[in-house]
Structure 1
Amino acid sequence: MTKAATIIPITLPTPFDVGPVNCCLLIGDAVTLIDSGPKTDEAREVLLSFLKENRLSLKDLDQYICTHYHPDHAGLSKEIQQAGVDTLMLKEAVPYVSGDSDFLKWADSFYIDLYRSFGVPDSLGRLELLKLKKYREFISPFMPDLTPLPGEGVPGHEGFIFLKTPGHAPDHLSLYNEVQGVFIGGDVLLPHISSNALLEPPPLHEKERPKTLLQYRETLQNLLTLNLETVYPGHGEPFKNAHELIRKRLHDQNERAKAIEKLLSDEPLTVFELCIRLFPKLYEKQLGLVVSEVSGHLDLLQEEGRIIKVEEEGLFYFRQTGAVR
């Protein structure tokens, strides 16, 4: 007889600005850990203590599912795998978590060239790259044992399926139970902050970068068609009324796009010039997030035919459709 699933949230500390991260135990016919927190002594201690309080250890887990490659969610994945636990991620995660040196060099080169084309000073661009490399230290490279396909059932948990939910990360995976209305969503939908559709490099040796905000908006539109009674997010408390929050996120994105379009009414601007105008107190401290936010909404405006991009001496300028530089 199939055992009804029990979901037990686990909150782990992180050294990042986003604050604590949520993992969870999914206990049914299988015992599954979802996400693992960053590779820090503090997170490891809290995770192992939590498992012990529930009369479990890493070796008692039947499987480990990681929602996406970001170190605050995937940092302890290798240690869990080394305990003999099958590790599951979407195939899109492999270049990011495997430590593929060719891909990492490709990604670093992509960010340097893109930041330059966006008008970001080299000093700030290289500082942001150093931050990215430091961020990667909070995860040990590993290779997932299994790469489930979207729509497949979650082993040991009847009624749960895997969903591909890209936007915040290209490999983002969520778990969904239609009957129960349960959505274990990682960073797809957070109650207190909007998930940033982060800039990502294209696959190795491809030229076109993914339009991550457009991907994220498609994900949100798809979520509006689902029965979302309870969402277990990667940060913040579990919540209900998910459809209302999704509509707010989409509305806020539209409003941000309008604000950017208005800034382009007088003159063409680079991404960096827009960053300074929109986020004067944040653009230096959180350049990566700010550039992702601005460039994502420029992608949206371009997709809707409201602005165009022109290149001058290696810099990309954006202007309203019909405006003349």
Structure 2
Amino acid sequence: MDRISLGNDEFEGHNNAYVLADPDSDALALVDTGIATPDIRADFADGLAERGYDFSDVDDIVLTHFHVDHAGLAGEIQAESGATVYVHEADAPMVEQEPDALAALDERRRAYLDEWGVPEDSQAELLSFLDSSAEIEGEPAAVTTIEDGDVLEVGGRTLEVIHTPGHAAGLCCYEIRDGPETAHADAVDDGAEAFVGDAILPVYTPNVGGADVRVERPLQQYLTALRRLADRDYDRIWPGHRDPIDEPTDRALTIAEHHRERTENVLDVLAEHGPADAWTVSAHLFGDLEGIHIVHGPGEAYAHLDHLRHEGVVEFDDGEYRLIDNADDVEIDHVVTADD
């Protein structure tokens, strides 16, 4: 698979932009575009030039989700090429940078920061970081929305859309199909591969809860997505960061096990220290936080606490989570599994 590795010092390491080129039709497509900074734009342009293309040649841009390290340059490339930009309908307003949608996201984030108990000075640091990062968001793009099960013919390849929310509301994976006749098959073909964005990463576990505060029940949705990807049993997947994953089913189940262990850690914090808000639980799990992690840390703690609340293991009252009386009798393997 032809990929261009792009710089990224803030989010999970180097980003991957994938190049899909059909020599017979000259069709050119990109899967994700990287952060909108001059240096990264120049690196991306150089990478395309090495392959005999420039931005004006791009016909289609397929986005895994709206985060700036995946969609930042989409608008600028579209302006040069007239490319069609595909993104899930849930993330479309974010990529189009609709003012009402951006304001609603900001308002929801601020409300959660208060609910999670994030101190005012940490909130101010986070908001300053977000303001200073506005330049990497890039230009808005006009998008064509997609949904689960859609089939795209781009760059000489056939991609089936697999909606996998959790890390982001509109996060999609793209299963690589040989032709439209294989789309919607009950089982994937031997040797099947997929672009997975941040659904599964080779080193880090994708953040849930803080990465997109629009997602309801983020942990439950993410575990469902992991189970879906594990069941498809791909031979290889191409993530949004770092190197390809050659045993993706094992990696998906490893991440699910990580979340089971993290849930145990959350319960241990409440058992040892008593009722606590998400910020306090986060401090016990992750220590001091700075930059974007000021929302990612308590967001991750919240995702687990919220999941436990829905499962009847903890209750939420007056800004704090507390164990219910019979919490010691709960089988954690039942509460948090990749089968949720």
Q: TM-score, normalised by structure 2?
A: 0.84
Trace 1:1-325 onto structure 2 (pairs within 5 A).
7-28=1-22, 30-83=27-80, 84-156=82-154, 157=156, 159-177=158-176, 178-179=188-189, 180-199=191-210, 200-202=212-214, 210-266=216-272, 267-282=274-289, 286-311=293-318, 316-322=319-325
Structure 1 distance, partners of 2:291, 2:46, is 38
* Contact 1:88 1:144 (C-alpha < 8 Å) held by counterparts: no
> In the alignment, is the contact (CA less than 8 A) between 1:118 and 1:271 conserved in 2?
yes
Query: Given residue 193 of structure 2, which amino acid in structure 1 is its aligned partner?
Result: V
Offset, 1:274: 1.1
Q: CA deviation at 1:150?
A: 1.7
Other structure's SS at 2:196 match? strand
**Unmatched tracts of structure 1, length 5 or more:** 1-6, 203-208
Distance 2:102 2:145 in 1: 21
> What amino acid does structure 2 have at the position aligned with 1:147?
T
How far residue 17 of structure 1 moved from its aligned partner, in angstroms, is: 4.8
Mapped to 1, the partners of 2:42 and 2:56 lie a distance apart of 16
Change (3 A) 1:283 1:304: farther
Determine if contact 1:97/1:143 at 8 Å carries over to the other structure: yes
- Please identify, of 219-228 and 276-285, the stretch whose mean Cα deviation from structure 2 is larger: 276-285
CA RMSD of aligned residues (A): 2.1
Deviation at 1:59, TM superposition (A): 2.2
Number of equivalenced pairs: 308
Amino acid at match of 1:257: T
- List alignment gaps of at least 5 residues for structure 2: 177-187, 328-340
User: How big is the shift at 1:37?
Assistant: 0.7
Contact residue 151 and residue 158 of structure 2 kept, 8 A: yes
Q: CA deviation at 1:106?
A: 2.4
- Whichever residue aligns with residue 194 of structure 1, its letter is T
**CA separation in 2, counterparts of 1:285 and 1:13?**
17
Report the secondary structure of 1:246's partner residue.
helix
Cα separation, partners in 2 of 1:139 and 1:282, compared to 1, 3 Å: closer
Q: Residue in 1 aligned with 2:330?
A: none
CA contact (8 A) 1:38 1:75 kept: yes
- Which amino acid is the alignment partner of residue 203 of structure 2? H
State the one-letter code of the partner of 1:163: I
SS of equivalent to 1:24: strand
**Are the counterparts in 2 of residues 71 and 136 from structure 1 also a CA contact under 8 Å?**
no
TM-score, with normalisation over the residues of structure 1? 0.88
Greater mean deviation of Cα atoms: 70-79 or 144-153: 144-153
Q: Is the 8 A contact 1:264 1:319 kept in 2?
A: yes
Aligned to 2:179: none
Measured after TM superposition, the shift of residue 263 of structure 1 is 1.5
CA 1:317–1:284 in 2, change beyond 3 Å: closer, same or farther? Answer: farther
Displacement of 1:317 in angstroms is: 0.7
1:124 touches 1:284 (CA, 8 Å); kept in 2?
A: no
* Higher fraction of helix: 2
How far 1:277 moved relative to its partner?
A: 1.7
Q: Cα offset for 1:159?
A: 4.4
Q: In structure 2, do the counterparts of structure 1 residues 148 and 112 end up closer, same or farther at CA, with 3 Å as the change threshold?
A: closer
Q: How many Å apart are 1:35 and its aligned residue?
A: 0.8
> Residues 272 and 291 of structure 1 are in contact (CA less than 8 Å); yes or no, is this contact kept in structure 2?
yes
Distance in 2 between residues matched to 1:41 and 1:104, nearest whole Å: 24
